[in-house]
Amino acid sequence: MGNISVKYENYVAHVVMNRPPANALAQSVLREIAEVFHHLESNENVRAILLYGEGRFFSAGADIKEFVQIKQQGTLNELANIGQDVFETIESFPKPVIAAIHGAALGGGLELAMACHIRLVAENAKLGLPELQLGLVPGFGGTQRLPRYVGRAKAFEMLFTSDPILGSEAVKTGLANHAYPEEDLLNQAKALAEKIVLKSPLAIKVAIELVNVSKTAAFYDGIQKEAQAFHELFQSKDAGEGIQAFIEKRKPQFKGE
C-alpha cells in the first residue's frame, strides 16, 4: 500500500505509517489502515500488532489541507465517520495493538494512539489535541477517550489550552504505559509485543472483549460476563495446555483453541 507498510516478525505485525513529512491521516490513509487491520484479523500467524510511524513523527494529525476540499464538497461528516469507524475497529480488535509513539502524536494522531490497547512513548514525544486552535473539536473520538485515560480535569486542560504534553508526563497522567529514550523506544515495543504473543490468543481475545465491556456496562453485568467467559475458557485446549505446562514447569505452547 502507498502509505502503510506491514512487516512480520515472530508473530508480530509491524504496521508502519509512511506519509512524509508528518504521517498526516488523510482519508486515504485511514482507509488503508482499515484494510490492513481487516487482513490482519484473519491472519493466524499474527498475534499482536505494533503500530508506529516512519520518519520524524508517529502522526501529526489529520491532513489540514484536505479540510478545505472536504468543506467545499460538504463531506466533513464522512471524514469523521471514517475515522471513528477505523479507531473503533482498532479498540475492539481481537489482537493486542501497541502504539510506539515518537516525535509527535497530535490531533488525529493521538486519537489513533488512544484507540490502541497499549501506548509506549518516547520521553520527548509530544502528545496533544490542538483542534480548538482551529475552532474545532476532535472528531475521531478524542473527547471521549482522553478523559478515560487522564481524567476530566486534565482532559479539559489539554483541550482548552491545546498545549501538548511530553511523553514522560503522559505516563504520569495515565495516557501512556511507559516512556523510554527515543532511541530505545522501538526495541522496547518489540520486546513487549514478543512477550505478549506467548500468551493464549484465545484468552487475549476474550480479555479485550471484557475490558471493552467495562466502557458501558454496569459493574454487575461486567462481572457476570467475566464469570461466563472464565467458565468457557476453562474448557478450552489452551487452558488445558496452560495448566499442564504450569504443573510440569515448562513454557506453554498455545494454539488459540
Catalytic option among 32, 91, 111, 123: 111
| Burial class of residue 165 (count of CB atoms within 10 Å of its CB; 0-12, 13-18, 19+) | buried
> Residue 204 pLDDT > 70, yes or no?
yes
Predicted confidence band at 174 (pLDDT cuts at 50, 70, 90)?
very high
At 64 the pLDDT is 78
- Within 8 A by CB and 6+ apart from 229, the residues are 206, 209, 210
257 is catalytic: no
What's the pLDDT at 4?
96
Q: What is the pLDDT of residues 137-159, one digit of tens each?
A: 999 999 999 999 999 999 999 99
Contact 127, 103 (CB under 8 A): no
Cell of 106: 497530535
Contact 257, 236 (CB under 8 A): yes
**Would you state the pLDDT for residue 217?**
86
pTM over the 0.85 mark: yes
> Is the omega angle on the peptide bond into residue 96 within 30 degrees of 0, that is, cis?
no
Average pLDDT over residues 160-178: 97
- How far lies 120's CA from each of 40, 74, 98, 130, 169, in Å? 21, 37, 7, 21, 12
Predicted pLDDT at 76: 63
Which residue type, as a one-letter code, is found at position 152?
R
From residue 45, alpha-carbon distances to 23, 40, 136 in Å are 27, 9, 41
The one catalytic residue in 131, 157, 194, 232 is: 131
Long-range contacts of 181-185 (CB under 8 A, 24+ apart): 181/122, 181/123, 182/102, 182/122, 182/123, 182/124, 182/125, 185/100, 185/101, 185/102, 185/120, 185/121, 185/122
C-alpha grid cell, residue 14: 509491524
Residue environment code for 116-155, b if the CB has 16+ CB neighbours within 10 A, otherwise e: bbbbbbbbebbbbbbbeeeeeebbbbbbebbbeebeeebb
> Exposure of 156 by Cβ count < 10 A (0-12 exposed, 13-18 middle, 19+ buried)?
middle
Within a 13 Å sphere around the CA of 4, how many CA atoms are in the beta-carbon half? Answer: 22
pLDDT, mean of residues 14-27: 95
The overall average pLDDT reported for the chain is 94
Q: Mark whether 157 is an active-site residue.
A: no
Could you tell me the sign of the dihedral formed by the alpha carbons of 179, 51, 217, 201, in that order? negative
Q: Which three cell numbers stand for residue 186?
A: 522501538
d(CA 223, CA 214): 9
- The pLDDT, as a whole number, for residue 73 is 66
Q: Work out the average pLDDT over 193-214.
A: 96
